[in-house]
Structure 1
Amino acid sequence: MSSVTNIFLTNNKSSSQWQNENLLQIIEDDIYIYLDKSFSSPLKNIQRAARSIEKLGVKHACLKGDLWGIDSQWAFALGFTCVGKLTNIEFTGEQTTIDTLNNKLAVYAWSRNLTNQTPSELTPLLLAKQAQDYITAQAPDCVSSRLISGDDLAKQGWVGVYNVGKGSVNPPCIVEIDYNPTDDEQAPISTCLVGKGITFDSGGYSLKASVGMFHMKCDMGGAAVVSGALALAIRQGLNKRVKLILCCAENMVSNNAYKLGDILTYKNGVSCEIANTDAEGRIVLADGLLMASENNPSMIIDAATLTGAAVLATGGDYTALFSLDEQLAEQAKQAANIESEPLWQLPLEKWHQEKCPSAFADTANSRPVPGGGPGGASNAAGFLSRFVDSKGWLHFDLAAAYNGSANDQWAAGATGLSIATIANLLLTQ
Structure 2
Amino acid sequence: MTTTNDQLAANATCSFGPKIDIISYHSCDASFMAVHLTTKAAPDCFVEGTSMWPNEHGGFNVHVDLSDERALQAAGRTIAAAGLNKVKVTTSENDLRFDVITATQFVLAMYSDALENSGFSVALELDVPNLEAVRRNVSIITLGRVFANSPNNIYHTTELLEVYFKALEQAFTQNKGQGQLSFKIYKAGDALFDDNCVGLKTVGQSSAYEPCLGVVDYIGPGADENKVDIALVGKGIAFDTGGYDLKPSNYMQTMHTDKSGMIYMAAATILAGAMGAGKHVRCYMPCAENRISANSMVTGDIITYPNGVKVEIGNTDAEGRLILADALILASKDQPKFILDSATLTGAAKIAVGRDMCAVLSRSNKMDPQLEQAFNYTKEEYWLLPLREYHKRYIKAKRATIANTSHGDGAPGASTAAAFLSYFVDPNIKWTHIDLSNAYNKESSPYLGTGSTGSTILAIAHWLVGSQY
8 Å CA contact 1:195–1:245 kept in 2: the answer is yes
Q: Which residue of 1 aligns with 2:445?
A: 407
How many Å apart are 1:235 and its aligned residue?
1.3
Q: State how many pairs are aligned.
A: 423
Q: Which residue of 2 aligns with 1:322?
A: 361
CA offsets 1:305-330 (integer angstroms, 9 cap, x no match): 01000000002221100111456623
Q: Which residue of 2 aligns with 1:143?
A: 181
Q: Which residue of 2 aligns with 1:375?
A: 412
How many Å apart are 1:51 and its aligned residue?
2.4
Give the letter for the 1:11 counterpart: T
8 Å CA contact 1:91–1:101 kept in 2: the answer is no
Q: Which residue of 1 aligns with 2:461?
A: 423
8 Å CA contact 1:118–1:217 kept in 2: the answer is yes
Further displaced range: 87-96 or 310-319: 87-96
Q: Which residue of 1 aligns with 2:39?
A: 11
With over 3 angstroms needed to count, the CA separation of the structure-2 counterparts of 1:125 and 1:68, relative to structure 1, is same
CA offsets 1:116-161 (integer angstroms, 9 cap, x no match): 1101112111222134223433149712232211465763231101
Q: Which residue of 2 aligns with 1:332?
A: 371
- Residue 58 in 1 paired to residue 84 in 2? yes
Distance 1:171 1:140 in 2: 33
CA offsets 1:254-297 (integer angstroms, 9 cap, x no match): 01111111111001110000001101111000001011111111
How many Å apart are 1:400 and its aligned residue?
0.7
Distance 1:148 1:330 in 2: 34
How many Å apart are 1:222 and its aligned residue?
0.2
Distance 2:206 2:406 in 1: 22
Instruction: Give the alignment's TM-score, normalised by structure 1.
Output: 0.91
What SS is found at the alignment partner of 1:290?
helix
Aligned-residue RMSD, C-alpha: 2.4
With over 3 angstroms needed to count, the CA separation of the structure-2 counterparts of 1:399 and 1:77, relative to structure 1, is same
Distance 1:151 1:277 in 2: 25
With over 3 angstroms needed to count, the CA separation of the structure-2 counterparts of 1:169 and 1:59, relative to structure 1, is same
Further displaced range: 55-64 or 288-297: 55-64
Further displaced range: 329-338 or 151-160: 151-160
What SS is found at the alignment partner of 1:374?
coil
How many Å apart are 1:347 and its aligned residue?
0.1
How many Å apart are 1:373 and its aligned residue?
5.6
What SS is found at the alignment partner of 1:387?
coil
Distance 2:188 2:235 in 1: 17
How many Å apart are 1:17 and its aligned residue?
3.5
Further displaced range: 342-351 or 139-148: 139-148
1:73 counterpart (103, 128, 131): 103
With over 3 angstroms needed to count, the CA separation of the structure-2 counterparts of 1:393 and 1:341, relative to structure 1, is same
Give the letter for the 2:388 counterpart: E
Distance 1:198 1:30 in 2: 45
How many Å apart are 1:301 and its aligned residue?
0.8
Q: Which residue of 1 aligns with 2:70?
A: 43
Distance 2:223 2:41 in 1: 59
CA offsets 1:366-421 (integer angstroms, 9 cap, x no match): 1368xx96310000000001111243111111001101222333211011111111
Instruction: Give the alignment's TM-score, normalised by structure 2.
Output: 0.84
How many Å apart are 1:85 and its aligned residue?
5.3
Distance 1:131 1:262 in 2: 33
Further displaced range: 58-67 or 378-387: 58-67
CA offsets 1:164-188 (integer angstroms, 9 cap, x no match): 1111011110011211235877532
**Match runs of 1:283-294 below 5 Å:** 283-294=322-333
With over 3 angstroms needed to count, the CA separation of the structure-2 counterparts of 1:200 and 1:151, relative to structure 1, is farther
Q: Which residue of 2 aligns with 1:24?
A: 52
How many Å apart are 1:19 and its aligned residue?
7.3
Distance 1:289 1:425 in 2: 20
How many Å apart are 1:9 and its aligned residue?
1.2
8 Å CA contact 1:4–1:58 kept in 2: the answer is no
Distance 2:465 2:149 in 1: 28
What SS is found at the alignment partner of 1:347?
coil
Q: Unmatched 5+ residue regions in structure 2? A: 1-29
8 Å CA contact 2:302–2:310 kept in 1: the answer is yes
2:261 counterpart (209, 218, 222): 222
8 Å CA contact 2:425–2:431 kept in 1: the answer is yes
Q: Which residue of 1 aligns with 2:292?
A: 253
8 Å CA contact 1:48–1:79 kept in 2: the answer is yes
Distance 2:148 2:294 in 1: 28
Q: Which residue of 2 aligns with 1:129?
A: 162
Give the letter for the 2:53 counterpart: Q
8 Å CA contact 1:12–1:34 kept in 2: the answer is yes
8 Å CA contact 1:351–1:382 kept in 2: the answer is no
How many Å apart are 1:3 and its aligned residue?
6.2
2:139 counterpart (106, 120, 136): 106
Distance 2:253 2:156 in 1: 16
What SS is found at the alignment partner of 1:355?
helix
Give the letter for the 2:52 counterpart: L
Give aligned-pair identity as a percent. Answer: 32
